[in-house]
Structure 1
């Protein structure tokens, strides 16, 4: 029995509807896949960003950096790590030879005292006829500290800010103002590093004829 024209049109219409349904299903599946892929990508990016942030935080935690807070009107600087969990045990503090020849050792009381450098600094200023009465002195500090139950060490070069005030028949009174980092991870002789920086900042006066 042959199809009538009306039956043929009805069958074609049904096929067209089926195709549309199939296309819609494919589109829905594609959208679902894209949404799932986007979610996985965003999750991966968030995880990567978090891992990088944790890595940076861990790296910063390993850095030992000190601050110096003036005490008693500048008679001393109280030294402390910027990370409270890093507990300072001992320090060896070295100044340029012209300021102080020997190294000062401290235990359990991290500090720099103005009296350690008053005499040498006054002589250095007078030799250069320096009327500024303020400036910076390089200081090398070797520190032993405890972090996470482990004993660690740090060797760094800092600048010690100061001002000096003339006194009759005595060395100038030195007031310490603060501490700033020059270089971490210094190898070799810290006093030699302090000497080199001091000489660059304060060239010796020309020899008198």
Structure 2
């Protein structure tokens, strides 16, 4: 039997210097591309995080600058002392509007922000009786236009609030109003404040059904 021919081995040779340099250059280029890609991805992540942080700070700034008031009862609830939740916002003047059938004109204050029960006590009693309401507790809508100073600039806020109250009977005079506090309904009232207050009042205490 004849022997099977031996497999030929491929000739072995060392890489030339030029080939070695070429391979090294390719490897270095690949590493450089990977490093650049990684740095670019990291930069994109950092920019995205910075943008999110900037937007969050801007949003926080907007919320901080929003004008919002609190109403603290004084005495036996015959007065609400109004104050901005941000001390740097200094209230100058206010125009306080009540529902038309409670009080026909707005009350103007200067440098003494407050709501007094005497401003609307009799009118509220008449309005509730006229609408056939026997409720002893409720929320009276009021519109408040406030001029205030912030960072040396004069600004104006137009908002709707609800004043919580309870009624207590008296022998001769109309029921005594005891105010409990105030809550925000809406800021940035663009339409006529009186119309906005009246619309909210109609929903709070609807008129009696016509026979």
Q: How far 1:62 sits from its partner (Å)? A: 4.1
RMSD: 2.5
Whether 1:28 aligns to 2:31 is: yes
**2:79 alignment counterpart:** 76
**2:95 alignment counterpart:** 92
Looking at secondary structure, tell me which structure has more helix per residue. Answer: 1
2:178 to 158, 175, 179: 175
Residues 143 and 159, structure 2, Cα contact 8 Å, conserved in 1: yes
Aligned pairs (5 A) from 1:106-185: 106-185=109-188
Residues 133 and 205, structure 2, Cα contact 8 Å, conserved in 1: no
Q: Distance in 1 between matches of 2:181 and 2:153?
A: 29
**2:204 alignment counterpart:** 201
**1:9 alignment counterpart:** 12
TM-score normalized by structure 1?
0.82
Q: Distance in 1 between matches of 2:94 and 2:45?
A: 48
Q: Distance in 1 between matches of 2:87 and 2:52?
A: 26
For residue 126 of structure 1, give the secondary structure of its aligned residue in structure 2: helix
TM-score normalized by structure 2?
0.82
**2:5 alignment counterpart:** none
For residue 105 of structure 2, give the secondary structure of its aligned residue in structure 1: coil
**Alignment size in residue pairs:** 201
**1:5 alignment counterpart:** none
Q: How far 1:48 sits from its partner (Å)? A: 1.0
Q: How far 1:194 sits from its partner (Å)? A: 1.3
Q: How far 1:18 sits from its partner (Å)? A: 5.8
| Offset from partner CA, 1:93-129 (integer Å, 9 cap, x none) | 0101211122111111111112222111122223334
